[in-house]
Amino acid sequence: MPVSSSENLETLERDLGYSFHHRTLLLEALTHKSFHHENPSQVLPHNERLEFIGDSVLGLVIVEHLFHNKKGYTESEMAEIKSYLVRGALLSEIAHGIGLGKYLRLGKGEEDTGGRNKKSVLANAMEAVFGAIYLDAGYGAARESILRLFEEQVLSALSSGQYHNYKTELQEESQMRFGVLPEYRIINQEGEEHRKIFTAEVFIAGKRLGRGSGKNKKEAQTAAAKEATERLRTGGYVS
């Protein structure tokens, strides 16, 4: 059962750095659709609408923060860094760090299959919580909470440049969404021995999601991973 007493929600609020005026918004953010469907008499809806709002708010907060950074990131750089920071694997890591899973309201089936530790469930709930804060007190409150929770990850990403690692991003997203690893295939190589161009394709669950070329196999695979990652971001899910 979820830990949803008033006292325990206060603990969660302290970890979020925000106290709700309307606790029903927080409870909605913690309600998984499986709980809603198994308890139709409950007044609160599940958290997917809040998740949708939270995703937009999170993206805006991160982009605004990058825009004001003294390094003056370009549009394409901001897009790359944002995509790295708002990905599901990182959201679930942050959610795990504040113990969000123990507060979730899950249906029995989801509970029995380890839903409290599922990366996708945690990531979605984290976005829903951000959406709830935004609706409860506006953009400023949501921004403060998001930057507080993301502070370490933002600093790490900007100092290391690790946001460019498309293969790692794709692997994390593939494991979280589909429970499988991407499969890379070198489908072509052409040119003289010292000027070869390699072409790679990447598959997830047997479906091709990306193709790319490069001066070596690693570059080709990275280019394919980049295309696949961008396709997943825009809703190109594996069927």
Domain of 210, CATH number, reads 3.30.160.20
Residue 63 CB neighbour total at 10 angstroms: 18
Q: Specify whether 121 is located in the same domain as 223.
A: no
Residue 114 covered by a domain: yes
Task: Supply the pLDDT for residue 6.
Answer: 55
Residue 201: half-sphere exposure toward Cβ, Cα within 13 Å: 8
Domain contains 171: no
Is residue 169 one of the residues assigned to a domain?
no
Same domain, 154 and 186: no
One domain for residues 98 and 153: yes
* Residues 135 and 203 occupy one common structural domain: no
Comparing C-alpha atoms, which of 6, 8, 4 is closest to residue 29?
4
The total number of structural domains that make up the chain: 2
Q: How far apart are CA 166 and CA 12, in angstroms?
A: 33
Domain span at residue 211 reads 180-233
Mark whether 42 and 156 lie in a shared domain: yes
Question: What's the rounded Cα separation, in Å, for the pair 27 and 187?
Answer: 50
So what's the pLDDT on residue 162? 66
List the 183-190 sheet strands across, edge first.
Answer: 183-190, 197-204, 207-214
Q: What is the CATH number of the domain that holds 69?
A: 1.10.1520.10
Q: What is the pLDDT of residues 163-201, one digit of tens each?
A: 767 888 899 889 988 999 999 999 999 988 778 999 999
Same domain for 191 and 107, yes or no, is no
Tell me what pLDDT residue 7 has.
Answer: 56
Using CA atoms, how far apart are residues 97 and 149, in angstroms rounded to an integer?
Answer: 9
Please determine, for residue 210, whether its predicted confidence score (pLDDT) is greater than 60.
yes
**Domain match, 133 and 194 both:** no
Residue where a domain terminates, one of 129, 164, 199: 164
> Greatest CA span in the chain, whole angstroms?
70
pLDDT at 3: 58
pLDDT tens by residue, 37-64: 888 777 679 999 999 999 999 999 999 9
Claim to verify: residue 198 and residue 125 sit in the same structural domain: no
Q: What are phi and psi of 202, to 5 degrees?
A: -125, 135
Residues 17 and 80 in one domain: yes
Residues designated as active site: 55, 127
Question: Do 134 and 75 fall into the same domain?
Answer: yes
CA distances 189 to 49, 216, 222, Å, are 47, 9, 16
Residue 1 in any domain: the answer is no
Q: What is the pLDDT of residue 2?
A: 56
